[in-house]
Amino acid sequence: MKRFDVVVIGSGAAGLTAAFTANGLGKKVALIDHNAPGGECTWSGCIPSKALVHLASESAIARKQGAPAPDTEAVMNTVREASQNIYQHETPEVIASAGVTFIQGSARFVSPHELSVAGKTLYAKKIILATGSTATVPPIEGIHSVPYLTNDRFFQQTQLPSSMLVLGGGSIAVELGQAMAKLGVRVTLIEQQTQLLAREEAAFAHDIQARLEADGVDVRLGHRALNVVKTASGVKLESECQGQKFQHFAERLLVAAGRTPVFEKLNLAAADINTDRGVTVNRYLQTSQPHIYACGDLIGPYQLSHMANYQAKIAARNAVFPFRKKATYEHVCWTLFCDPEFARTGLTEAEARQQHQDVRVYEYDLGRLDRARIQSPYPGRIKIILDRKGYVLGGHILGERAGELITQVQTFKTLKLPFRDLQQVIHPYPTFSDALRQISQQVWIDDLQRQPVVRLAKAVSRLLHRPG
């Protein structure tokens, strides 16, 4: 029986980070996965989707200049090459060269400390579960009778179809739907909610919807999918909206209705590990077995690669050191890679007003920015939400480089710095980030006017200049 200090199950973003962290802390580590390393991020998530978004944007620009419709077979080949390029840095050979033992196979618990893999039994002092998630398939009548796609299989296509029904209104649906439309696919997006991106502020969601529609996406909100059947030319989906039934036709169907944690094959009962919708953990990322930790999509609450990395480092550290660190989610941020990008950190305005008595809101139209006037046909907007002392509660950015811009807001939020201090930082001109400096300058002016001595001086001035 092989013995390890730490065994990590799953080699996606969370698993790789956990394994390398524990190995870097001097522990004997094994990493187990039945698939090639990389997980969803490398093969069906972050990497291929962003490659597709990039190629779609380039194609749209070229077509406006008279270029022919893109060869989607070539596009999909390029997308898969992007995944392969990333994979070269996380192959079993690379993992082994770092000192981590990679074992390909499906792991099952035999006991709280023992795992069965590929006919062999391993013993581990500590175990970290990082098995990720899979696409959620809603219980729609006939769904399993049609050859539907999810993002797990989307990038295996050799070429894109002429038309696609996209079921869902979250980040996957928005990114892939818009990208396909830019590549010439007739896209119909069907969402049960009355707003795209339901957890985002309505104004930003509406702007994003307008951009999708301008790119050719037929957005159908408030439509509940009833059934789907296979047709001679593809699929037919029937939906209901406000008491009326509608029929939608396309060559293919993409189900983009969220992600579900994967743990059924682990035989968690043998280790007496509690589960709910995912594996249940405490703030130290421990399961009901103190020596077994879990991280990433398997536990949520945010199914994001950078959050998986964050949790994995904490899980590995806590598995190795007696002084444990808590996982906190006060400073989470994310980016939606639509066109233009949308990024967010912290609270919405409504959430902020529910939690704080005095909230300060600053909005900025990126159309005012010189750099946006030069290059962005759809500039976007920024919204910064502060508490009464000027500390960041939330930030929302829709515009070019939003994913980069939100990092400045996130930094001030995480380090608990007053946002007015950003105006002291010299920003190069002309850049998109100068918009944040301009907002912070206004915050500084407002803070200055709130000072008692300034308020007194203004009051005296009004008295001195009072008529009569």
CATH number of the structural domain spanning residue 272: 3.50.50.60
Q: Tell whether 434 is covered by a domain.
A: yes
Are residue 251 and residue 315 in the same domain, yes or no? no
Are residue 447 and residue 395 in the same domain, yes or no? yes
Are residue 347 and residue 222 in the same domain, yes or no? no
pLDDT digits (tens, 9 = 90+) for 264-289: 999 999 999 999 889 999 999 999 99
In DSSP terms, 228 is beta-bridged to 237
Q: Tell whether 467 is covered by a domain.
A: no
Q: Tell whether 457 is covered by a domain.
A: no
Q: What's the whole-number mean pLDDT along residues 330-343? A: 96
Are residue 9 and residue 124 in the same domain, yes or no? yes
Quote the pLDDT of residue 314: 98
pLDDT band at residue 14 under the 50/70/90 scheme = very high
Domain residues for the domain of 8 are: 2-38+90-135+260-320
Give the burial string for 328-347 (b: 16+ CB within 10 Å, else e).
Answer: eeeebbbbbbbbbbbbbbbb
The pairs formed by 440-445 with CB atoms below 8 angstroms and a separation of 24 or more are 442/362, 443/360, 443/362, 443/384, 443/386, 443/390, 443/418, 443/419, 444/420
Q: Tell whether 419 is covered by a domain.
A: yes
Q: What's the whole-number mean pLDDT along residues 198-205? A: 97
Are residue 280 and residue 384 in the same domain, yes or no? no
Quote the pLDDT of residue 362: 98
State the total domains in the chain. Answer: 3
Distance, CA of 6 to CA of 123 (rounded, Å): 9
The pTM of the full predicted model, rounded to 2 decimals, is: 0.94
Q: Tell whether 85 is covered by a domain.
A: no
Are residue 6 and residue 129 in the same domain, yes or no? yes
pLDDT digits (tens, 9 = 90+) for 32-69: 999 999 999 999 999 999 999 999 999 999 998 899 98
Q: Tell whether 44 is covered by a domain.
A: no
Are residue 107 and residue 14 in the same domain, yes or no? yes
CB 345 within 8 A of CB 394: yes
Are residue 275 and residue 412 in the same domain, yes or no? no
Are residue 172 and residue 268 in the same domain, yes or no? no
